[in-house]
Protein backbone atom coordinates (compact mmCIF):
# COMPACT_ATOMS: atom_id res chain seq x y z
CA UNK A 1 0.00 0.00 0.00
CA UNK A 2 2.61 2.53 1.09
CA UNK A 3 4.92 1.88 -1.89
CA UNK A 4 1.96 2.49 -4.19
CA UNK A 5 1.13 5.77 -2.46
CA UNK A 6 4.72 6.94 -2.64
CA UNK A 7 4.97 5.84 -6.28
CA UNK A 8 1.83 7.78 -7.11
CA UNK A 9 3.08 10.80 -5.19
CA UNK A 10 6.44 10.56 -6.95
CA UNK A 11 4.78 10.34 -10.32
CA UNK A 12 2.61 13.36 -9.49
CA UNK A 13 5.60 15.39 -8.39
CA UNK A 14 7.52 14.36 -11.50
CA UNK A 15 4.60 15.40 -13.69
CA UNK A 16 4.32 18.73 -11.89
CA UNK A 17 8.03 19.32 -12.31
CA UNK A 18 7.77 18.51 -15.99
CA UNK A 19 4.82 20.83 -16.47
CA UNK A 20 6.58 23.52 -14.45
CA UNK A 21 9.62 23.23 -16.67
CA UNK A 22 7.41 23.46 -19.72
CA UNK A 23 5.79 26.63 -18.41
CA UNK A 24 9.20 28.18 -17.79
CA UNK A 25 10.54 27.00 -21.15
CA UNK A 26 7.55 28.48 -22.94
CA UNK A 27 7.21 31.63 -20.87
CA UNK A 28 6.80 33.55 -24.09
CA UNK A 29 9.09 34.79 -26.84
CA UNK A 30 7.82 38.35 -26.43
CA UNK A 31 8.73 38.38 -22.74
CA UNK A 32 12.15 36.94 -23.53
CA UNK A 33 12.77 39.56 -26.21
CA UNK A 34 11.67 42.39 -23.91
CA UNK A 35 13.86 41.17 -21.07
CA UNK A 36 16.85 40.78 -23.37
CA UNK A 37 16.30 44.24 -24.83
CA UNK A 38 16.60 43.28 -28.48
CA UNK A 39 15.21 40.99 -31.18
CA UNK A 40 17.43 38.22 -32.56
CA UNK A 41 16.55 37.80 -36.22
CA UNK A 42 17.79 35.10 -38.59
CA UNK A 43 18.60 36.38 -42.09
CA UNK A 44 20.45 35.20 -45.19
CA UNK A 45 24.22 35.17 -45.48
CA UNK A 46 24.03 37.96 -48.00
CA UNK A 47 21.40 38.56 -50.67
CA UNK A 48 21.27 42.02 -52.22
CA UNK A 49 17.87 43.63 -51.76
CA UNK A 50 16.71 41.15 -49.11
CA UNK A 51 19.36 40.91 -46.40
CA UNK A 52 22.89 42.10 -46.94
CA UNK A 53 25.59 43.59 -44.70
CA UNK A 54 27.89 46.36 -45.92
CA UNK A 55 31.58 46.77 -45.10
CA UNK A 56 30.65 48.37 -41.78
CA UNK A 57 28.37 45.51 -40.80
CA UNK A 58 25.15 47.47 -41.36
CA UNK A 59 22.32 45.23 -42.55
CA UNK A 60 19.78 46.39 -45.11
CA UNK A 61 17.12 44.79 -47.28
CA UNK A 62 13.48 43.77 -47.55
CA UNK A 63 13.79 40.92 -45.02
CA UNK A 64 15.94 43.08 -42.73
CA UNK A 65 13.29 45.80 -42.74
CA UNK A 66 10.76 43.25 -41.54
CA UNK A 67 13.01 42.49 -38.57
CA UNK A 68 13.26 46.23 -37.97
CA UNK A 69 9.48 46.53 -38.12
CA UNK A 70 9.00 43.85 -35.45
CA UNK A 71 11.60 45.55 -33.24
CA UNK A 72 9.79 48.86 -33.70
CA UNK A 73 6.47 47.29 -32.71
CA UNK A 74 8.04 46.06 -29.48
CA UNK A 75 10.58 48.75 -28.56
CA UNK A 76 9.63 51.70 -30.78
CA UNK A 77 13.23 51.39 -32.00
CA UNK A 78 14.11 49.69 -35.33
CA UNK A 79 17.76 49.36 -34.35
CA UNK A 80 17.18 46.95 -31.48
CA UNK A 81 17.92 43.93 -33.65
CA UNK A 82 20.79 41.45 -33.67
CA UNK A 83 21.13 39.81 -37.09
CA UNK A 84 22.25 36.20 -37.38
CA UNK A 85 23.26 35.15 -40.92
CA UNK A 86 22.14 31.58 -41.61
CA UNK A 87 22.66 29.17 -44.49
CA UNK A 88 19.69 27.44 -46.11
CA UNK A 89 20.69 24.18 -44.42
CA UNK A 90 20.91 25.58 -40.89
CA UNK A 91 18.13 28.21 -40.85
CA UNK A 92 15.25 26.06 -39.56
CA UNK A 93 17.31 24.27 -36.92
CA UNK A 94 18.54 27.62 -35.63
CA UNK A 95 14.95 28.77 -35.17
CA UNK A 96 13.79 25.46 -33.74
CA UNK A 97 16.65 25.43 -31.23
CA UNK A 98 15.93 28.98 -30.04
CA UNK A 99 19.08 30.58 -31.45
CA UNK A 100 16.89 33.19 -33.14
CA UNK A 101 13.46 34.59 -32.23
CA UNK A 102 12.33 35.00 -35.81
CA UNK A 103 13.48 33.85 -39.25
CA UNK A 104 13.15 36.51 -41.94
CA UNK A 105 15.17 34.86 -44.67
CA UNK A 106 13.53 34.40 -48.11
CA UNK A 107 12.06 31.05 -47.06
CA UNK A 108 9.29 29.26 -48.97
CA UNK A 109 6.12 28.30 -47.11
CA UNK A 110 5.41 24.61 -47.73
CA UNK A 111 3.26 22.04 -45.97
CA UNK A 112 6.18 19.81 -44.97
CA UNK A 113 7.99 22.68 -43.29
CA UNK A 114 5.06 23.05 -40.91
CA UNK A 115 4.22 19.37 -40.47
CA UNK A 116 7.76 17.98 -40.23
CA UNK A 117 9.20 20.83 -38.17
CA UNK A 118 7.73 22.58 -35.08
CA UNK A 119 7.63 25.83 -37.06
CA UNK A 120 4.95 28.12 -38.46
CA UNK A 121 4.90 30.65 -41.29
CA UNK A 122 3.05 33.82 -40.36
CA UNK A 123 2.20 35.17 -43.80
CA UNK A 124 3.52 35.81 -47.29
CA UNK A 125 5.65 38.92 -47.47
CA UNK A 126 6.79 38.18 -51.02
CA UNK A 127 5.07 36.07 -53.70
CA UNK A 128 7.78 34.54 -55.84
CA UNK A 129 8.47 31.67 -58.20
CA UNK A 130 11.50 29.80 -59.45
CA UNK A 131 13.18 30.80 -62.69
CA UNK A 132 16.36 30.51 -64.73
CA UNK A 133 19.19 32.87 -65.67
CA UNK A 134 21.42 32.34 -68.70
CA UNK A 135 23.93 34.35 -70.67
CA UNK A 136 22.30 36.60 -73.23
CA UNK A 137 24.48 35.28 -76.04
CA UNK A 138 23.23 31.74 -75.41
CA UNK A 139 20.25 32.60 -77.59
CA UNK A 140 17.85 30.91 -75.15
CA UNK A 141 14.47 32.57 -74.76
CA UNK A 142 12.56 29.82 -72.93
CA UNK A 143 13.27 27.28 -70.21
CA UNK A 144 12.02 24.59 -72.60
CA UNK A 145 15.20 25.17 -74.60
CA UNK A 146 17.48 24.12 -71.73
CA UNK A 147 17.70 20.42 -72.58
CA UNK A 148 21.18 19.08 -71.82
CA UNK A 149 22.12 22.02 -69.62
CA UNK A 150 24.43 22.04 -66.64
CA UNK A 151 22.48 23.77 -63.87
CA UNK A 152 23.80 25.54 -60.78
CA UNK A 153 21.50 25.30 -57.74
CA UNK A 154 21.81 25.82 -54.00
CA UNK A 155 21.45 22.68 -51.89
CA UNK A 156 18.94 22.56 -49.04
CA UNK A 157 16.39 24.65 -50.95
CA UNK A 158 13.10 23.95 -52.70
CA UNK A 159 14.86 24.90 -55.94
CA UNK A 160 16.69 21.56 -56.10
CA UNK A 161 13.58 19.43 -56.43
CA UNK A 162 11.59 22.00 -58.42
CA UNK A 163 13.98 22.26 -61.32
CA UNK A 164 14.63 18.49 -61.42
CA UNK A 165 10.86 17.89 -61.57
CA UNK A 166 10.50 20.47 -64.34
CA UNK A 167 13.25 19.00 -66.49
CA UNK A 168 11.99 15.44 -65.94
CA UNK A 169 8.39 16.37 -66.72
CA UNK A 170 9.54 17.93 -70.00
CA UNK A 171 11.85 15.01 -70.91
CA UNK A 172 14.96 17.19 -70.71
CA UNK A 173 18.37 16.00 -69.57
CA UNK A 174 20.46 17.96 -67.09
CA UNK A 175 23.56 17.90 -64.92
CA UNK A 176 23.41 19.42 -61.45
CA UNK A 177 26.15 21.55 -59.88
CA UNK A 178 25.22 21.99 -56.21
CA UNK A 179 26.50 24.68 -53.84
CA UNK A 180 26.01 25.34 -50.15
CA UNK A 181 25.52 29.11 -50.44
CA UNK A 182 24.10 31.58 -52.99
CA UNK A 183 27.56 33.13 -53.35
CA UNK A 184 29.11 29.77 -54.20
CA UNK A 185 26.34 29.00 -56.67
CA UNK A 186 26.82 32.37 -58.39
CA UNK A 187 30.59 31.85 -58.51
CA UNK A 188 30.06 28.47 -60.19
CA UNK A 189 27.88 30.19 -62.78
CA UNK A 190 30.37 33.03 -63.30
CA UNK A 191 33.28 30.68 -63.84
CA UNK A 192 31.41 28.56 -66.35
CA UNK A 193 30.90 25.42 -64.30
CA UNK A 194 27.28 25.62 -65.41
CA UNK A 195 25.33 27.34 -68.17
CA UNK A 196 22.17 27.94 -66.14
CA UNK A 197 21.56 29.38 -62.68
CA UNK A 198 18.23 28.52 -61.06
CA UNK A 199 16.60 29.84 -57.90
CA UNK A 200 13.70 32.13 -56.98
CA UNK A 201 13.23 34.89 -59.56
CA UNK A 202 13.75 37.55 -56.90
CA UNK A 203 17.10 36.01 -56.03
CA UNK A 204 18.06 35.86 -59.69
CA UNK A 205 17.52 39.63 -59.89
CA UNK A 206 19.75 40.00 -56.84
CA UNK A 207 22.46 37.70 -58.22
CA UNK A 208 22.43 39.42 -61.60
CA UNK A 209 22.78 42.85 -60.00
CA UNK A 210 25.98 41.61 -58.33
CA UNK A 211 27.60 40.74 -61.69
CA UNK A 212 29.98 43.20 -63.32
CA UNK A 213 28.47 42.31 -66.70
CA UNK A 214 24.86 42.21 -65.51
CA UNK A 215 23.52 43.37 -68.90
CA UNK A 216 25.00 40.25 -70.51
CA UNK A 217 22.65 37.96 -68.58
CA UNK A 218 18.91 37.47 -68.91
CA UNK A 219 16.25 35.98 -66.67
CA UNK A 220 14.02 33.76 -68.75
CA UNK A 221 10.27 34.53 -68.56
CA UNK A 222 9.31 31.03 -67.40
CA UNK A 223 8.26 30.67 -63.75
CA UNK A 224 8.09 26.99 -62.81
CA UNK A 225 6.84 27.02 -59.22
CA UNK A 226 4.96 28.83 -56.51
CA UNK A 227 7.35 30.24 -53.90
CA UNK A 228 5.42 32.12 -51.19
CA UNK A 229 8.16 33.62 -49.04
CA UNK A 230 7.57 34.75 -45.50
CA UNK A 231 8.76 35.02 -41.89
CA UNK A 232 8.86 31.91 -39.71
CA UNK A 233 8.43 31.39 -35.96
CA UNK A 234 8.17 28.39 -33.64
CA UNK A 235 4.77 26.72 -33.33
CA UNK A 236 4.77 26.64 -29.52
CA UNK A 237 4.04 30.34 -28.99
CA UNK A 238 0.70 31.48 -30.42
CA UNK A 239 1.01 34.98 -28.96
CA UNK A 240 4.36 35.58 -30.67
CA UNK A 241 3.06 34.15 -33.93
CA UNK A 242 0.11 36.55 -33.84
CA UNK A 243 2.35 39.54 -33.11
CA UNK A 244 4.69 38.82 -36.02
CA UNK A 245 1.76 38.15 -38.38
CA UNK A 246 0.08 41.42 -37.48
CA UNK A 247 3.24 43.40 -38.10
CA UNK A 248 3.03 42.28 -41.73
CA UNK A 249 -0.73 42.89 -41.83
CA UNK A 250 -0.36 46.38 -40.40
CA UNK A 251 2.24 47.36 -43.01
CA UNK A 252 -0.06 46.20 -45.82
CA UNK A 253 -3.11 47.88 -44.32
CA UNK A 254 -1.18 51.11 -43.89
CA UNK A 255 -0.31 51.19 -47.59
CA UNK A 256 -3.89 50.42 -48.57
CA UNK A 257 -5.15 53.24 -46.34
CA UNK A 258 -2.63 55.68 -47.82
CA UNK A 259 -0.67 55.96 -44.58
CA UNK A 260 3.02 56.42 -45.37
CA UNK A 261 6.04 57.55 -43.36
CA UNK A 262 5.47 61.05 -44.78
CA UNK A 263 1.82 61.20 -43.69
CA UNK A 264 2.05 59.99 -40.10
CA UNK A 265 0.84 63.25 -38.51
CA UNK A 266 -2.11 63.39 -40.90
CA UNK A 267 -3.02 59.81 -40.03
CA UNK A 268 -2.87 60.51 -36.29
CA UNK A 269 -5.34 63.36 -36.72
CA UNK A 270 -7.73 61.34 -38.89
CA UNK A 271 -11.28 60.61 -37.77
CA UNK A 272 -11.73 57.69 -40.16
CA UNK A 273 -12.46 54.58 -38.06
CA UNK A 274 -10.12 52.21 -39.91
CA UNK A 275 -7.27 54.75 -39.75
CA UNK A 276 -7.92 55.46 -36.07
CA UNK A 277 -7.71 51.76 -35.26
CA UNK A 278 -4.40 51.45 -37.07
CA UNK A 279 -2.78 54.49 -35.46
CA UNK A 280 -4.09 53.51 -32.02
CA UNK A 281 -6.46 56.37 -31.27
CA UNK A 282 -9.42 53.98 -31.21
CA UNK A 283 -9.46 50.59 -29.54
CA UNK A 284 -6.80 48.68 -27.63
CA UNK A 285 -5.45 46.45 -30.38
CA UNK A 286 -1.83 46.92 -29.36
CA UNK A 287 -2.53 45.91 -25.77
CA UNK A 288 -4.02 42.64 -27.01
CA UNK A 289 -0.65 41.82 -28.56
CA UNK A 290 1.35 42.93 -25.54
CA UNK A 291 2.34 46.18 -27.27
CA UNK A 292 1.57 49.88 -26.98
CA UNK A 293 -1.51 50.97 -28.90
CA UNK A 294 0.55 53.09 -31.29
CA UNK A 295 2.67 50.09 -32.38
CA UNK A 296 1.47 50.10 -36.00
CA UNK A 297 1.94 53.80 -36.70
CA UNK A 298 5.38 53.60 -35.09
CA UNK A 299 6.31 50.95 -37.67
CA UNK A 300 5.14 53.17 -40.52
CA UNK A 301 6.95 56.21 -39.12
CA UNK A 302 10.30 54.48 -38.59
CA UNK A 303 10.36 51.70 -41.20
CA UNK A 304 7.56 52.46 -43.68
CA UNK A 305 4.45 50.79 -45.01
CA UNK A 306 4.72 47.66 -47.16
CA UNK A 307 4.98 49.59 -50.42
CA UNK A 308 7.70 51.88 -49.12
CA UNK A 309 9.76 48.93 -47.93
CA UNK A 310 9.28 47.13 -51.25
CA UNK A 311 10.23 50.08 -53.41
CA UNK A 312 13.25 51.00 -51.30
CA UNK A 313 14.77 47.54 -51.47
CA UNK A 314 13.37 45.77 -54.53
CA UNK A 315 11.33 48.15 -56.67
CA UNK A 316 11.98 49.71 -60.06
CA UNK A 317 13.99 52.52 -58.48
CA UNK A 318 16.28 50.15 -56.57
CA UNK A 319 19.36 48.27 -57.79
CA UNK A 320 17.20 45.20 -58.45
CA UNK A 321 14.40 46.94 -60.34
CA UNK A 322 11.72 44.28 -59.75
CA UNK A 323 8.17 45.36 -60.71
CA UNK A 324 5.56 44.85 -57.96
CA UNK A 325 3.64 42.26 -60.02
CA UNK A 326 1.87 39.80 -57.73
CA UNK A 327 3.14 41.77 -54.74
CA UNK A 328 1.03 44.77 -55.63
CA UNK A 329 -2.00 45.39 -53.40
CA UNK A 330 -5.11 43.39 -54.29
CA UNK A 331 -6.91 46.66 -55.05
CA UNK A 332 -4.29 47.50 -57.69
CA UNK A 333 -4.12 44.17 -59.50
CA UNK A 334 -1.82 42.18 -57.21
CA UNK A 335 -2.61 39.57 -54.57
CA UNK A 336 -1.20 41.17 -51.42
CA UNK A 337 -4.13 41.32 -49.03
CA UNK A 338 -4.27 41.68 -45.26
CA UNK A 339 -7.10 41.10 -42.77
CA UNK A 340 -8.27 44.34 -41.19
CA UNK A 341 -7.46 45.67 -37.77
CA UNK A 342 -10.81 45.73 -36.05
146-179 core/surface letters (b: 16 or more CB in 10 A; e: else): beebbbbbbbebbbbebbeebbeeeeeebeebeb
pLDDT tens string 283-339: 999 999 999 999 999 999 999 999 999 999 999 999 999 999 999 999 999 999 999
* pLDDT band, very low/low/confident/very high, at 4 (cuts 50, 70, 90): very low
For residue 164, how far is the Cα from the chain centroid? 25
- Least Cα distance to 283 among 293, 269, 275, 295 occurs for 293
pTM: 0.87
Whether 61 has a pLDDT exceeding 90, the answer reads: yes
pLDDT given at position 22? 39
Q: From CA 210, how far away is CA 170, in angstroms rounded? A: 31
Residue 318's φ and ψ, nearest 5 degrees, are -95, 180
60 in Cβ contact with 18 (< 8 Å)? no
pLDDT (tens digit per residue) in 247-292: 999 999 999 999 999 999 999 999 999 999 999 999 999 999 999 9
The average confidence (pLDDT) of the chain is 92
Q: What distance in Å separates the CA atoms of residue 44 and residue 94, rounded to the nearest whole number?
A: 12
Q: How confident is the model at residue 181, as a pLDDT?
A: 86
Nearest to 206 by CA among 47, 13, 336, 315: 47
Q: What is the mean pLDDT of residues 39-47?
A: 95
Does 16 have pLDDT greater than 60? no
d(CA 26, CA 252) in angstroms, rounded, equals 30
Task: Using alpha carbons, list the distances in angstroms from residue 291 to 31, 40, 257.
Answer: 11, 18, 22
Could you tell me the end-to-end alpha-carbon distance of the chain, in angstroms, rounded to an integer?
A: 59
Kindly indicate the confidence band of residue 37, based on its pLDDT and cuts at 50, 70 and 90: very high
pLDDT for 126-154, tens place per residue?
999 999 999 999 999 999 999 999 999 99
Give the pLDDT score at 27: 63
Instruction: Categorize the per-residue pLDDT at 194 as very low, low, confident or very high, splitting at 50, 70 and 90.
Output: very high
Amino acid sequence: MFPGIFSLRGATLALAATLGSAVVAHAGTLDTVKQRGNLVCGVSQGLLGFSNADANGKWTGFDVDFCRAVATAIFDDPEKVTYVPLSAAERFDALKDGKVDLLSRNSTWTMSRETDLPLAFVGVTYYDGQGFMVKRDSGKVSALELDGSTVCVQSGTTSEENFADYFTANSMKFTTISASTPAESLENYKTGKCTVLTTDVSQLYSERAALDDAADHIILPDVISKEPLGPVVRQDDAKWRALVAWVHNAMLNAEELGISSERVDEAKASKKPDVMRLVGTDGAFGEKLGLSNDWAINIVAKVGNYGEVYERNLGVGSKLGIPRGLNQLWSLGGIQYAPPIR
